[in-house]
Amino acid sequence: MLDNTRYSVPAKNIEVVTEIKRSRFIARISHSQNADEAFAVIEQAKKDFPDARHHCWAFIACSPLSASAVRFCDAGEPAGTAGKPILNVLQYSHYGEIVCVVSRYFGGIKLGAGGLVRAYSNSTQAALEQLIVKEIVELSSVLIQFSYPYESSIRHYLESINVMISQVDYQEQVIFKLSIEKRLIKPMMEHALNLCRGEIVLLNSSSLKTNSLKIK
Dump pLDDT digits (tens) for 38-49.
Answer: 999 999 999 999
Does 138-209 carry CATH code 3.30.70.240?
yes
Q: Which alpha helices (H) appear in the chain, and where do they start and end?
A: 35-48, 83-93, 112-128, 151-160, 182-195
Q: What residue spans define the domains of the chain?
A: 6-131, 138-209
**8 A C-beta contact, residue 132 and residue 201:** no
Q: Which alpha helices (H) appear in 129-166, and where do they start and end?
A: 151-160
Q: At what angle do helices 182-195 and 151-160 cross, to 10 degrees?
A: 140
Mean pLDDT of 102-115: 92
Name the average pLDDT for the chain.
Answer: 90
For the stretch 150-185, what's the b/e string if a residue is b when 16 or more beta carbons lie within 10 angstroms of its beta carbon?
bbeebeebbeeeebeeeeeeeeebbbbebebbbebb
Q: Tell me how far CA of residue 179 lies from CA of 166, 175, 209, in angstroms.
A: 7, 13, 11
| Sequence-distant (≥ 6) Cβ neighbours of residue 73 within 8 angstroms | 56, 57, 58, 82, 83
- Residue 205 reports pLDDT greater than 80: no
- How do strand 133-146 and strand 164-170 relate by DSSP bridges? unpaired
- Fold annotation for 6-131: Ribosomal Protein S5; domain 2 (3.30.230)
pLDDT of residue 4: 62
86/118 Cα distance (integer angstroms)? 10
pLDDT of residue 78: 95
- Residue 214 reports pLDDT greater than 70: no
For the stretch 116-145, what's the b/e string if a residue is b when 16 or more beta carbons lie within 10 angstroms of its beta carbon?
bbebbbbbbbbbbeebebeebbbbbebbbb
**8 A C-beta contact, residue 20 and residue 111:** yes
Least confident residue range of 42-56, 115-129, 185-199: 185-199
Mean pLDDT of 63-74: 91
The percent of residues above 90 in pLDDT, for the chain, comes to 75
Confidence of residue 50 (pLDDT cuts 50, 70, 90): very high
- Residue 188 reports pLDDT greater than 60: yes
